[in-house]
Structure 1
Amino acid sequence: MAEVASPVAAFPSLETALKHYFGYDQFRPGQRSVIEAVLKNQDALVIMPTGGGKSLCYQLPALLKLGVMVVVSPLIALMQDQVDSLQDNGIAATCLNSAIAFETLRQREADLLAGKIKLLYVSPERLMSAGFLELLSQLIQTVGVSGFAIDEAHCVSEWGHDFRPEYRQLSVLRAKFPQIGVMGLTATATERVRSDIAQQLRLCDPLIQVSSFNRPNLFYEVRPKGRDGYQQVQRQVKQHQGSGIIYCLSRKRVDELAQRLTADGESVLPYHAGLSDDTRRENQTRFIRDDVRLMVATVAFGMGINKPDVRFVIHYDIPRNIEGYYQESGRAGRDGEPAHCSLYLAYGDVATAEFLIGQKPNQDEQRIARQQLRQMVDYAEATVCRRRVQLSYFGEFLEGACQQCDNCINPPPLEDWTIEAQKFLSCVARCQERFGMAHIIDVLRGSKKQKVIDLRHDQLSTHGIGKDRSVDEWRLLGRSLLHQRLVDETTDGYPVLKLNAASWQVLRNQLAVQVAIPTDFVAGPATDTSPSDDAPEVTQLLTGLKALRKRLADQQSVPPYVVFPESALRQMARTRPQTLEAFGQVSGVGSRKLAQYGEVFTDAIRQFCADHGLASDPGAGGRRPRPSRERRQTVGDTHRLTLELYRQGRSLQEIADQRGLKASTVASHLERLIHQGEAVDIDQVVEPDQQRTIRSALAEMEGASLTEIRDRIGAAVSYEDIRLVRAMWHRDRASG
């Protein structure tokens, strides 16, 4: 059985406990204040984006308080994944659910009552059963309950994107156990949903922690989906590296897409509610453990996925609402590394979504769903920064452009539409802020519809003053005003436009309005398809460390990221720690991980360094530092052999073939030799004209990355050419 934690007094600070249990040196934004509140038994409502560290907000307090932390989680796969990760980290955690055999269930209950468990994961259905409530009472009287954590708390609100009626019953926790603190946690919640969560869970004077919803490592884009939609997706999948998820609207489309991708040689599995429980569970497990690269799924594949190293998410069909899209696209890049999110827009898919909404039996649900779908279409058609539209939906304002979306990378031209905006906002005011965008546009364009006449809006001074603009142009302006927060809109299913302070600034000529005029959709660059600025040996070592992680994970029947997240492997590859002391400094390496994996990983790193004539490289941060005395001393026999073959007139590829290396590795050997001061004639590799071009770019863009330099010069120049010329350029400057 894994160790049971000591109380908080055993550690001089929360940071010390954080490093001991989880291997991190500092808290992420918002975590510390929540943990301090939970340690004081205060209720809390935690809104943190995917990958923001919500779980730690209850996991660390569970280890520092007496008793058991009870965590309510909606999916068996999700809770099992959390338990696996905690147990691998030496933390006593378990779960109770319907998939567990009776004998195992009784043993886990006995371990709970014996005080051997610190975190218990249960489903809301299990928690509400009479037997479990009785078990809770016994726990309180024996080992104690340190708190209740309600994960995916948006499920409690009918205004959330994934409402689950069974979550409504969780208020019984406050009624039956008023002395125990309750915390709700979710990645997304509008202000209305946050209020509803607090009310439904009966939180008492809770600490409310709302972190930024901005995920700067994600690149967002929208692509038009033509008749060759499958070919578009297939090409994009081939461009990306790493694991990916493709979301589809229907089970039929999931199966079709998965079959075609499989036939074309991709490693892919399907996931939807039409598959058996065993098949879904097996497919998800194989994806999480990197046995397959792609998962094609419906939104049923949502909260159950806890894989941190998903490098891209593609929505083949338009999502139902912005909140759901934020959650689903947010499955990418949970490890903080760059990831790519693409949405394919086809108006036939919008019509399909509207048809499905029409099948809902409840008229109020239909009304809300239609408004949410329209907001999603507005997002897809937006010409402003996509991140700004997303954040605005959650009540957060982004200053400037994100430079991480297609609209920021390829901005459409701007035009001054201040006069048109004044007409639009004036019409909203004349209509007494009681109508939506469609009616305002009707009035502006002088419509004679019966509704306009019955309301006597044909007699307003704004009736017909916008005849010179089309419906589409007015709709473009209306969306732009909403995205720029120059006008507000109610979100209760009746989308009514409301003026705000900025609206009056526009009307008083105190604020100009710029509107981005749409051009043909242009796909932004895939952030993870360009080569990294890491040295080739870093990339090569990272590949080896991933393979080692996969072997260790398979031996333990756990997902690879349970052993170490990719961010930790990348830091290892960049700094090459060869002692246990140095390995313990890697972010994500705690006491347990150091003892469990330290030797095997440092052995692998030492062997790699010996094979390639490398030494530890602390502080490099993954980018090539300027040459230092210590760095010059790392040149070994492998570099000398490369130099000898090079001086015989052999090309990089010939040397690579003879030595069983990559051409990029051979180039890195020569680069290091140049830094050491060896005479390397790069004229036999790089044409003099190209050298001059590269040197000119280096002079203009000092400090720029390889990718930035290559973007300036053009794809005809290789990264190896730039590396060699840059090495000579630095050496010449140092000697000059």
Structure 2
Amino acid sequence: MVEKTSPTQVFPSLEGALKHFFGYDQFRPGQRRVIEAVLKNQDALVIMPTGGGKSLCYQLPALLKLGVMVVVSPLIALMQDQVDSLQDNGIAATCLNSALDYDTLCQREAALRAGQVNLLYVSPERLMRPGGVQLLEHLMQTVGVSGFAIDEAHCVSEWGHDFRPEYRQLSTLRERFPQVAVIALTATATERVRQDIAQQLRLRDPLIQVSSFNRANLFYEVRPKGRDSYQTLRQQVKQHQGSGIIYCLSRKRVDELAQRLTVDGESVLPYHAGLSDQVRRDNQTRFIRDDVRLMVATVAFGMGINKPDVRFVIHYDIPRNIEGYYQESGRAGRDGEPAHCTLYLAYGDVATADYLISQKPDAEEQRIARQQLRQMVDYAEATVCRRQVQLSYFGETLNGLCHQCDNCINPPPLEDWTIEAQKFLSCVARCQERFGMTHIIDVLRGSKKQKILDLKHDRLSTHGIGKDRSVDEWRLLGRSLLHQRLVDETTDGYPVLKLNAASWQILRQQLPVQVAVAQRFADAPSEMVDRPEVAQLLSILKTLRKQLADQQSVPPYVVFPESALRQMAQTRPQTLESFSQVSGVGRRKLDQYGQVFTDRIRQFCADYGLESDPGAARRSRPGRERHQRVGDTHRHTLALYHQGLSVEAIASQRGLRPSTIASHLERLIRQGETVDLDRLVAPEDQRAIQAVLTEMGDSSLTDIRDRLGPTYSYEAIRLVRACQRA
């Protein structure tokens, strides 16, 4: 046991004590204020980002007050790491947990009773069992208890990202030991979670210290996750220097990825709950000690680990909520040095996460989790500064851009959407601020859903005034307004839009609204088949097909070929009549599978506010695409093209990307304008592309390019396809 530090030592200042015990010359922002409060026996609620110095807020008072500071910690690995670090610093700290043998437990409890310990780390389960409470009562009567520090305090709240029911029992600490101050600490908590923490732990007039959530040294990016995503990941890992963590949703994915990386020569270990306690401890220790460079893990790994030099964190699967993502990605760069955070987005993973949510037994938990997942998808799809989105979620505003994310480094073009924003916010007001984004979009687009008719919202002046914009465009605007804090949204699982002061400024024409519009909205061709909702529904239908096939002990393709599922995902048939039009659906399959598939498609459309059978809508209006209006920006591109400029030259002159110019020309070709393809794509490349197009038909651009090879650009494929169809 390390010798106990005497609390009677006198220091000229708190800075002097800080230097003496921990070797730092000055406090980080917010630390001194909290420490002063704890020394006065005042309760405190401390919200500091990962690496912000939360632990010092109770460790230094523990060395300056009489008695033992009891620290509640949720993970054995977390508390052992803290104890090892303190003991290495010459400070008397110990922990009590289920991993200890009986003799060791007795020795440590004896040292506590003898007053030889400054800090005791213990899990909430062990603390609140009868033996733990008796130990606390004995310490109170003998050596004294200087305070209760509740680490990872977000675990007490069902609105947090890692709710643990056993944390709720900690409220009895206030009943049994009312004279002892309680300090609650966490790296992530929204305003609602903060209030819940204070209420659940029964904090008395606590000092509330909320430090900035901005981790300026972290670079954030989102990458699409396609069929070649492993090779992309592999290349990214090779490019990064230093230690890294790769997070996955499932144990199976962890094992598969760790094995592939090992085969490819990387120094890597897995971490998940399926491994034995000893293996997990050994793997974590080897990672912390730099025996291995990479850890592939579920989110169970890393909570509170004190490894400051993690240089990159990759989420290979989408996290379930923004708070969890912020904390997990924040395990990079705790030393303040530059670090990289990447999220790979695949809509099939979103469907998987949604399925896992559906397995929760409590409907209320499902509702909250689905809202949190939707917020995570909104973050991943955001076209604005990613740090703005993160900080807005925690109630903090970032002035300007961070220049430390992919959207700031390579920003999509800004467009003035003030009029659309006024329509949107006016609709929120006329719906009396009682509905979510999907309902507002339905009203704007003139939906005749039964709910709209029952509420008489078809009689509102805003009903149908947004027919000129697609559902995706209105959703882009809604997300942008939320990210810029130009409108608010409730966070109780029922995401209801609420107007704020900025909303009224927009409605009074006092504040303009600019929206970063990705190319898929500004210039994407209307016949694209690899839309996000298509990929997500396709994944759901594949899962359903697999379930039906397993019931019959047949391969999935016997139920339906994948081409049929893809057509269902694209057209979204919700009646048996429309389902019968899907290629591969005969009478037998219609009778056998029609009802179950249309029910699942109908539920998907209802959940995500999508129209039914968009393919049928297009078929019922032949020639609609040909008569769409070509905008001024396309005409400008066409005029420069007729002056003899190349795609690259036009892009340079207009300050746009070459891909944007190519999409303009593609649209013009489809509208019947005369464009010389030989000036844009070499004739030999045209022939190769045409051959693959003839062979693969309406396959996605990605599939076509994979067949052709990387020397063929997406722009060339789109232009040749446009000419072929024209």
* TM-score for the superposition, normalised by structure 1: 0.70
> Which residue identity lines up with residue 87 of structure 2 in the other structure?
Q
Aligned residue for 1:334, secondary structure, equals coil
Q: 1:346 — aligned with what?
A: 346
Percentage of matched positions with identical amino acids: 87
* Structure 2 residues without counterparts, runs of 5 or longer: 522-726
The alpha-carbon deviation at position 211 of structure 1 amounts to 0.6
For the residues of structure 2 that align with 1:52 and 1:486, how far apart are their CA atoms? 29
> Which residue identity lines up with residue 340 of structure 1 in the other structure?
H
Q: Residue 308 in 1 paired to residue 308 in 2? A: yes
Q: 1:92 — aligned with what?
A: 92
The alpha-carbon deviation at position 138 of structure 1 amounts to 1.4
Q: Residue 7 in 1 paired to residue 7 in 2? A: yes
1:280-359 to structure 2, matched below 5 A, reads 280-359=280-359
Q: 1:461 — aligned with what?
A: 461
Q: 1:175 — aligned with what?
A: 175
Q: 2:22 — aligned with what?
A: 22
Q: 1:50 — aligned with what?
A: 50
The alpha-carbon deviation at position 303 of structure 1 amounts to 1.3
Q: 1:125 — aligned with what?
A: 125
For the residues of structure 2 that align with 1:460 and 1:324, how far apart are their CA atoms? 40
Aligned residue for 1:54, secondary structure, equals coil
Q: Residue 239 in 1 paired to residue 245 in 2? A: no
> Which residue identity lines up with residue 406 of structure 1 in the other structure?
D
For the residues of structure 2 that align with 1:474 and 1:140, how far apart are their CA atoms? 60
> Which residue identity lines up with residue 285 of structure 2 in the other structure?
T
How many residues matched? 521
Q: 2:382 — aligned with what?
A: 382
Q: Residue 226 in 1 paired to residue 235 in 2? A: no
The alpha-carbon deviation at position 238 of structure 1 amounts to 0.3
The alpha-carbon deviation at position 290 of structure 1 amounts to 0.6
> Which residue identity lines up with residue 208 of structure 1 in the other structure?
I
Aligned residue for 1:19, secondary structure, equals helix
The alpha-carbon deviation at position 370 of structure 1 amounts to 0.8
Aligned residue for 2:273, secondary structure, equals coil
The alpha-carbon deviation at position 520 of structure 1 amounts to 7.1
> Which residue identity lines up with residue 516 of structure 1 in the other structure?
A
CA shift digits 1:447-473 (9 cap, x unpaired): 111111111111111111111111111
The alpha-carbon deviation at position 103 of structure 1 amounts to 1.1
The alpha-carbon deviation at position 110 of structure 1 amounts to 1.2
The alpha-carbon deviation at position 5 of structure 1 amounts to 2.2
Deviating runs (4+, > 4 A) in structure 1?
none
1:548-697 to structure 2, matched below 5 A, reads none
Q: 1:278 — aligned with what?
A: 278
1:50-129 to structure 2, matched below 5 A, reads 50-129=50-129
The alpha-carbon deviation at position 307 of structure 1 amounts to 1.5
Aligned residue for 1:317, secondary structure, equals coil
Higher deviation after alignment, 297-306 or 411-420: 297-306
Question: For the aligned residues, what is the CA RMSD?
Answer: 1.1
Q: 1:684 — aligned with what?
A: none
For the residues of structure 2 that align with 1:103 and 1:393, how far apart are their CA atoms? 48
Change (3 A) 1:8 1:464: farther
Q: 2:529 — aligned with what?
A: none
> Which residue identity lines up with residue 117 of structure 2 in the other structure?
I
Q: Residue 215 in 1 paired to residue 215 in 2? A: yes
For the residues of structure 2 that align with 1:94 and 1:42, how far apart are their CA atoms? 24
> Which residue identity lines up with residue 225 of structure 1 in the other structure?
K
1:193-208 to structure 2, matched below 5 A, reads 193-208=193-208
Q: Residue 508 in 1 paired to residue 508 in 2? A: yes
Q: 1:438 — aligned with what?
A: 438
Q: 1:415 — aligned with what?
A: 415
Q: 1:492 — aligned with what?
A: 492
Aligned residue for 1:121, secondary structure, equals strand
For the residues of structure 1 that align with 2:7 and 2:365, how far apart are their CA atoms? 48
The alpha-carbon deviation at position 114 of structure 1 amounts to 1.4
Q: 2:713 — aligned with what?
A: none
> Which residue identity lines up with residue 394 of structure 1 in the other structure?
F
Aligned residue for 1:10, secondary structure, equals coil
CA shift digits 1:548-567 (9 cap, x unpaired): xxxxxxxxxxxxxxxxxxxx
> Which residue identity lines up with residue 196 of structure 2 in the other structure?
D
CA shift digits 1:169-204 (9 cap, x unpaired): 001111111111111100011111111111111111
Change (3 A) 1:136 1:340: same
Aligned residue for 2:126, secondary structure, equals helix
CA shift digits 1:124-153 (9 cap, x unpaired): 011011112111111112111111101001
The alpha-carbon deviation at position 519 of structure 1 amounts to 3.3
Aligned residue for 1:71, secondary structure, equals strand
> Which residue identity lines up with residue 197 of structure 1 in the other structure?
I
For the residues of structure 2 that align with 1:442 and 1:64, how far apart are their CA atoms? 61
Higher deviation after alignment, 396-405 or 295-304: 295-304
Q: 1:529 — aligned with what?
A: none
For the residues of structure 1 that align with 2:51 and 2:8, how far apart are their CA atoms? 26
Aligned residue for 1:299, secondary structure, equals coil
Q: 1:539 — aligned with what?
A: none
> Which residue identity lines up with residue 424 of structure 2 in the other structure?
F
> Which residue identity lines up with residue 40 of structure 2 in the other structure?
K
The alpha-carbon deviation at position 500 of structure 1 amounts to 0.7
For the residues of structure 2 that align with 1:98 and 1:254, how far apart are their CA atoms? 26
CA shift digits 1:459-497 (9 cap, x unpaired): 111111111111111111010000011111111111111
Q: 1:575 — aligned with what?
A: none
For the residues of structure 2 that align with 1:8 and 1:459, how far apart are their CA atoms? 75
> Which residue identity lines up with residue 63 of structure 2 in the other structure?
L
Aligned residue for 1:395, secondary structure, equals coil
For the residues of structure 1 that align with 2:54 and 2:217, how far apart are their CA atoms? 18
For the residues of structure 1 that align with 2:54 and 2:520, how far apart are their CA atoms? 40
For the residues of structure 2 that align with 1:492 and 1:53, how far apart are their CA atoms? 30
For the residues of structure 2 that align with 1:208 and 1:8, how far apart are their CA atoms? 28
> Which residue identity lines up with residue 10 of structure 1 in the other structure?
V
Q: 1:478 — aligned with what?
A: 478
Aligned residue for 2:476, secondary structure, equals helix
The alpha-carbon deviation at position 281 of structure 1 amounts to 1.1
CA shift digits 1:5-26 (9 cap, x unpaired): 2336510100001011111000
Aligned residue for 2:71, secondary structure, equals strand
CA shift digits 1:553-610 (9 cap, x unpaired): xxxxxxxxxxxxxxxxxxxxxxxxxxxxxxxxxxxxxxxxxxxxxxxxxxxxxxxxxx
Change (3 A) 1:289 1:7: same
Q: 2:628 — aligned with what?
A: none
Q: 2:164 — aligned with what?
A: 164
> Which residue identity lines up with residue 443 of structure 1 in the other structure?
V
Change (3 A) 1:17 1:8: farther
Q: 1:141 — aligned with what?
A: 141
Aligned residue for 1:249, secondary structure, equals coil
Aligned residue for 2:519, secondary structure, equals coil
Change (3 A) 1:99 1:420: same
Change (3 A) 1:8 1:194: farther
The alpha-carbon deviation at position 278 of structure 1 amounts to 1.2
Aligned residue for 1:312, secondary structure, equals strand
Aligned residue for 1:311, secondary structure, equals strand
For the residues of structure 2 that align with 1:107 and 1:434, how far apart are their CA atoms? 60
For the residues of structure 1 that align with 2:53 and 2:304, how far apart are their CA atoms? 16
For the residues of structure 2 that align with 1:369 and 1:394, how far apart are their CA atoms? 17
Change (3 A) 1:304 1:59: closer
* Structure 1 residues without counterparts, runs of 5 or longer: 522-736
The alpha-carbon deviation at position 396 of structure 1 amounts to 0.6
CA shift digits 1:60-105 (9 cap, x unpaired): 0000111111101011111000000000000011111111111111
Higher deviation after alignment, 378-387 or 139-148: 139-148
> Which residue identity lines up with residue 418 of structure 1 in the other structure?
T
For the residues of structure 1 that align with 2:46 and 2:110, how far apart are their CA atoms? 32
